[in-house]
């Protein structure tokens, strides 16, 4: 790995790293916030997954998460949303498929399968790199995300219960098998013939089989222009009710899909995770 940026921030340090990814067969970047840690003890860690068109930079520069993370003593990691580079296939005419739209799954269709292995990257390769190079407590990790990243956070939480202690999301795609964004991505990455494979990446489907006692926090703005067609939080609420999963779904008048919304409520999400991550 190579450190390409470093900034003092709230008595901690915000770093950006670049590394060669064997999972994605390309060069990747991620940011990591390291709070002041005079004790030298390992610290809890939260991974934030961003949405369509984003890179690691969107959360890093816009979310306003680091004051609270420093106060709580939590490391925060922000990876990219897809593989990158000239050799990586893309759909240049789409903002919601290809680069910037990895959907945090492992593609099985060509030409995507060679590079688009985002589930393996997040849960295995990147997780191992972070644990090997920083003072992270591997047993105290959580995950959160926004939009497509909210989809990723929820599905990876359910699929990797041994890895993540808690989950939260802003404006997540909760039912990708039932909305245009998810249907387009799943057809391209997973194929359109076997939709049982799709269900393995749908939070509404996963919660019915993987409910637990840890409360999930979701914030959704009611002025979000993607709310009715793409997000449909009521479907996840119904699935949680059916399975007995604890859910705190907060609906906010006047808030949209932007990082202004995220920055308004990010402290609540960090507090939510700290409740489960603290000693």
Catalytic site positions:
147, 224, 257
As to burial, measured by CB atoms within 10 angstroms (0-12 exposed, 13-18 middle, 19+ buried), residue 269 is: buried
> Whose CA is closest to 7, among 271, 16, 59?
16
First to last CA, the chain: 30
How long a stretch of residues is the chain? 279
Residue the block writes with tokens 């799954």: 105
DSSP summary character for residue 121: I
Rounded to a whole number, what is the largest CA-CA distance in the chain?
55
β partners of residue 170: 146, 219
Report H helices in the chain. 56-62, 66-72, 118-120, 127-133, 148-159, 180-190, 195-199, 203-210, 233-243, 259-277
What is the C-alpha R_g of the chain? 17
């Amino acid at each position: 790995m190579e450190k390409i940026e470093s900034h003092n921030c709230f008595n901690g340090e915000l770093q950006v790293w670049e590394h060669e990814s064997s999972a994605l067969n390309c060069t990747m970047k991620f940011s990591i916030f390291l709070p002041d840690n005079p004790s030298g003890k390992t610290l809890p860690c939260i991974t934030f997954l961003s949405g369509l068109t984003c890179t690691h930079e969107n959360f890093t520069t816009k979310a306003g998460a680091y004051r609270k993370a420093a106060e709580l003593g939590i490391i925060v990691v922000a990876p990219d949303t897809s593989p990158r580079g000239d050799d990586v296939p893309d759909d240049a005419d789409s903002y919601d498929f290809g680069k910037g739209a990895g959907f945090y799954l492992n593609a099985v269709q060509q030409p995507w399968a060679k590079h688009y292995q985002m589930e393996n990257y997040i849960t295995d390769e990147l997780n191992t790199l972070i644990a090997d190079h920083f003072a992270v407590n591997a047993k105290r990790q959580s995950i959160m995300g926004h939009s497509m990243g909210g989809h990723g956070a929820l599905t990876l939480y359910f699929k990797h219960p041994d890895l993540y202690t808690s989950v939260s999301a802003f404006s997540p795609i909760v039912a990708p098998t039932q909305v245009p964004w998810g249907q387009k991505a799943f057809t391209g990455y997973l194929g359109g013939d076997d939709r049982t494979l799709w269900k393995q990446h749908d939070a509404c489907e996963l919660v019915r089989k993987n409910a637990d006692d840890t409360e999930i926090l979701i914030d959704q703005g009611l002025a979000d222009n993607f709310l009715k067609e793409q997000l449909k939080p009521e479907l996840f609420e119904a699935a949680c009710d059916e399975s007995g999963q604890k859910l705190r779904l907060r609906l906010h008048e006047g808030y949209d899909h932007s990082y202004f919304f995220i920055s308004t409520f990010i402290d609540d999400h960090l507090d939510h995770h700290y409740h489960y991550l603290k000693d």
